[in-house]
Chains A and B, each alone.
Chain A
Amino acid sequence: MAYDKFEVLTSTAYPLPIENVDTDQIIPARFLKATERKGFGDNFFRDWRYDSEGNPIADFPLNDAKYAGSKILVGGKNFGSGSSREHAAWSVYDFGLRCVISSFFADIFRNNCLNIGVLPVQVSAEFAQKLFDAIEADPKTEITVDLPNQTVTLVATGESESFQINGYKKENMLNGFDDIDYLQNIKEEIASFGETRPF
């Protein structure tokens, strides 16, 4: 599924300084019953956003009006561990986010994000802490994520760090392409390779 291009994004951010946030928290299994990619944003962090009666938990950052409308989430170390459910990445996107920043990502979640147009930005633990501190001091802190230059910057102070992304994925994100477009174009090569497989 094609997604909007990602170039330069400047936004406030939701802070979530908890480590090892697993994809069961990002979207609990009981919300995986759809057969179409619709409505996952409503259940993004469902059990952390709502109590057992379904009332919003006011001080949870994703419900906090101070951060409303942010397009970036800054998460703790090892964000997105556990289940491979791409629904977790969809719920990030459908909630209105285009970028997750963390000092460490789980593999499959990172891949899933890249495949659907959410940019995972890995920064140093020190820079992640700097972002958390800045957001705590001022919830309206703006962060710029510049994909062409591969930098993430605190707008107010100009403090900046570069991040890694391979050239192929970067090109895809900049153009809104996905891997299937690429694979479709080399199908003949795949077919001749397939003939060499013994089983």
Chain B
Amino acid sequence: MSKTLFDKVWDSHVVRKIEDGPDVFFIDRHFIHEVTSPVAFVGLKSRGIGVMYPEKTFATADHNTPTWNQHLPVADPLSANQLEALANNAAEHGISHWGLGHRNNGIVHIVGPENGITLPGSTIVCGDSHTSTHGAFGAIAFGIGTSEVEMVLSTQCIMQPKPKKMRINVNGKLGFGVTPKDVALYIIAKQTTSGATGYFVEYAGDVFEDMTMEGRMTVCNLSIEMGARGGMIAPDEKTYEYIKGRKHTPKGADWDKAMEYWQTLKTDEGAEFDVEFNYDAADIEPMITYGTNPGMGIGVTQAIPNASDVEGGEATYKKSLGYMKFNEGDDMIGKTVDYVFLGSCTNGRIEDFRAFCSIIEGRQKADNITAWLVPGSHKVVDQIKEEGLDKILEAAGFVLREPGCSACLAMNDDKVPAGKLAVSTSNRNFEGRQGPGSRTLLASPLVAAATAVEGVVTDPRTLINA
């Protein structure tokens, strides 16, 4: 029978099917961080049970870490306590731990692939909804709650009903200045913030085939923002090229054997999806959000829609615009911005820093902009330095911070003050997401860079090759 990529990976991980219930689903790789794991370890202790496969769990500190002076003790006692709990729990159970200051430390969804932990055909979970990032490698990867973290620690399984299947095809060539982030924001705007709830998405078509692995990670990362549990892309030569030789990637005969399997990981001709959507690359322009969920996005040159032209309740829409202090019909271009944030598991990779630098090179940061540039890992920092991007940033008046989730969720000190407007390359523009009262416009690194030098929302296409 013809199977989809998703079927192949899902079905090969079902330990047991429960009648009128979920599947007992085996997890190959488990990432944990300091915020959503401590209570799971408390649970293990209270039940008197241990970790079944410590070698399949990987801990890194990222959500709640400072991005400045990481060599100093963490000032916030609650944050310090969480970091200590992670370190102690990992040590007690024999789990590898990349704490603050470790060479491999960084955002969980960036260091996983960098270290070859993320592999095609594997199942990956983490107590973080952006775990969908790892689907870029042809893995089934999704976010779980803390009860499920406890399940994986104790039995390497969770109990999940199999999601429905959606395929999103984007064909054609992307226009000038249009990035993977724009493709994702475009799809989410079409689907709305809940349109893919209950589905697992496969992304297919020229646009994803042409993308780098970094770009694919950005797209899969944002799958959750339309409600999907996750998104995945069939592995190809680019995938194998990326993972080959990394720390945890199979080597020698194991690699050859794995390659044999990985090459079967594609959707068969005639395999069926519950629903399928087709979009044209030519319709996508650089995107920006204007509201309080990631589905509220438009082309950067467009005006904010009227309530009567959008799906959903008018009261909810007006509450959202009221929070943003925007009006129906406003142009986005030219809005004065206070903060620019480049980073997060969505856009904190080397390619994102290259894109940012391509715009700011030879220009200067606008005086009204506070910029936070936060690489996703120490490896990304190293690469930035190797390529001399740090010099370009410095010359333009920007400062690089140290790796972490930072202003994406503002658990640390990187908080956008109340009322201030930020253009952010992260993944969520919810009320208060970047700090109580903060207002967020989600966009690509190119839009962020153009805005950072102009001080107002700017179409990056007006600055490229200027």
Q: Which of B304-325 contact A (CB under 8 A)?
A: 312-313, 315-316, 319
Query: In the complex, what residues of A have CB within 8 A of residue B122's CB?
Result: 199
Bound-state CA distance A37–B26 (Å) is 26
Point out the residue from B119, B156, B227, B258 that lies within 8 Å of A78, measured CB to CB.
B227
Please indicate which of the listed interface residues A83, A116, A169 has the most CB atoms of chain B within 10 Å of its own CB. A83
Known: A19-B313, A22-B293, A84-B127. A47 touches B431 (CB 8 A): yes
**B16 at the A interface (CB under 8 A):** yes
Q: Contact: B258 with A198, CB < 8 Å?
A: yes
Residues of A within 8 A of B64 (CB): 32-33
Task: Judge whether A35 and B85 touch: CB under 8 Å.
Answer: yes
Task: Report the minimal beta-carbon distance from A41 to chain B, rounded to whole angstroms.
Answer: 15
Q: B172 at the A/B interface (Cβ < 8 Å)?
A: no
The answer to whether B22 touches A168 (Cβ under 8 A) is: yes
**B24-78 interface with A by 8 A CB criterion:** 24, 26, 28, 35-36, 38-39, 42-43, 46-47, 49, 52-53, 63-64, 76, 78
Q: How far is the CA of A28 from the CA of B159 in the complex (A)?
A: 27
With both beta carbons as reference points, the residue of chain B lying nearest to A104 in the complex is identified as B194
User: Are A166 and B250 interface neighbours, CB within 8 A?
Assistant: no
- With a CB–CB cut-off of 8 A, which chain B residues contact A35? 38-39, 42, 81-82, 85
Q: Is the CB of B24 within 8 A of A86?
A: no
Q: Within 8 Å CB of A83, what residues of B?
A: 128-129, 409, 428
- The answer to whether A167 and B19 have CB atoms under 8 Å apart is yes
- Is B301 an interface residue when CB atoms closer than 8 A count as contact? no
Residue-wise interface mask of B (113-157) relative to A, using a CB-CB cutoff of 8 A (1 in contact, 0 not): 000000100100001110000000000000111111011001111
For residue A29, CB closer than 8 A to chain B, the reply is yes
List of B residues within 8 angstroms of A199 by Cβ: 28, 119, 122, 250, 254, 258
Report B-chain residues with C-beta under 8 Å of the C-beta of A82.
129, 224, 428, 430
Q: In this complex, which of A28, A36, A183, A190 has the most chain B Cβ atoms within 10 angstroms of its Cβ?
A: A183
Given A29-B410, A186-B16, answer yes or no on A52-B436 (Cβ-Cβ < 8 Å): yes
Q: Among B129, B148, B254, B313, which residue has its beta carbon within 8 angstroms of that of A115?
A: B148
CB distance from A118 to the nearest CB of B (A): 12
Residues of A within 8 A of B63 (CB): 32
Instruction: Answer whether residue B299 sits at the interface, using C-beta atoms and an 8 A cutoff.
Output: no
Contact partners of B216 in chain A: CB under 8 A: none
Contacts A20-B316, A30-B411, A108-B143; A179 near B20 (Cβ below 8 A): no
Residues from 343 to 376 in B contacting A, C-beta threshold 8 Å: none
Contacts of A87 in B (CB 8 A): 146
Contact A111 B316 (CB under 8 A): no
Min CB distance A129 to B, Å, is: 11
A187 touches which of B21, B129, B155, B194 (Cβ 8 Å): B155
Is B418 on the interface with A (CB-CB < 8 A)? Answer: yes
CA distance A34 to B64 in the complex (A): 11
- Decide: A179 near B38, CB < 8 A? Known: A19-B312, A108-B129, A199-B122: no
Task: Give the interface size bracket for B toward A.
Answer: 35 or more
A19 CB contacts on chain B under 8 angstroms: 312-313, 316
Q: Please give the distance in Å from B177's CB to the nearest CB on chain A.
A: 29
Whole-angstrom distance between the Cβ of B165 and the nearest chain A Cβ: 14
Q: Does B18 contact A (CB under 8 A)?
A: yes
Q: In the assembly, what is the distance between CA of A193 and CA of B17, in Å?
A: 13
B437, A52: Cβ atoms closer than 8 Å: yes
Chain B facing A: main interface SS: loop
Query: Does A146 sit within 8 A of B, measured CB to CB?
Result: no
Interface string of A183-195 (1 = CB under 8 A from B): 1101101110110
- Give bound CA distance, A199 to B26, whole Å: 12
- In the complex formed, the residue of A with least CB distance to B42 is A36
Select which of A33, A86, A115, A168 is within 8 A of B21 by beta carbon.
A168
Is the Cβ of A190 less than 8 Å from the Cβ of B157?
yes
Residue of B nearest to A79 (CB): B194
Residues A193 and B26 in contact, CB atoms below 8 Å apart = yes
Nearest A residue to B257 via CB reads A198
Interface membership of B379, Cβ < 8 A = no
A37–B20 Cα distance when bound, in Å, is 31
Segment 149-203 of B: residues with Cβ below 8 Å from A: 150-151, 154-161, 163, 193-194, 197-198
Give the contacts of A57-106 with B (CB-CB under 8 A): 76-78, 81-87, 89, 104-106
Report the minimal beta-carbon distance from B266 to chain A, rounded to whole angstroms.
18
Question: At the interface, yes or no: A43 with Cβ under 8 Å from chain B?
Answer: no
Decide: B411 and A184 in contact? CB cutoff 8 A.
no
A19 to B163, CA, bound (A): 23
B15 at the interface (CB under 8 A from A): yes
For the complex, give the distance between the alpha carbons of A53 and B151 in Å: 40
Return chain A residues, CB-CB under 8 Å to B39. 34-37, 86
B297 to chain A, nearest CB (A): 14
Which of B43, B154, B293, B410: most chain A CB closer than 10 A?
B293
The 8 closest A-B pairs by CB, nearest first: A168-B21, A167-B20, A86-B145, A84-B143, A33-B78, A112-B145, A35-B38, A115-B147
Inter-chain pairs besides A167-B20, A189-B16, 10 sampled, C-beta below 8 Å? A24-B430, A28-B436, A33-B78, A35-B85, A85-B145, A111-B148, A180-B147, A190-B52, A194-B156, A198-B258
15 contacts between A and B (CB under 8 A): A1-B46, A18-B316, A19-B312, A19-B313, A20-B312, A24-B431, A24-B432, A33-B35, A33-B78, A47-B432, A84-B145, A87-B146, A167-B20, A179-B159, A199-B28
Q: Please give the residue numbers on chain B whose beta carbons come within 8 Å of chain A beta carbons, in ascending order.
A: 15-16, 18-22, 24, 26, 28, 35-36, 38-39, 42-43, 46-47, 49, 52-53, 63-64, 76, 78-79, 81-82, 85, 119, 122, 127-129, 143-148, 150-151, 154-161, 163, 193-194, 197-198, 224, 227, 229, 250, 254, 257-258, 261, 293, 312-313, 315-316, 319, 409-411, 418, 428, 430-433, 436-437
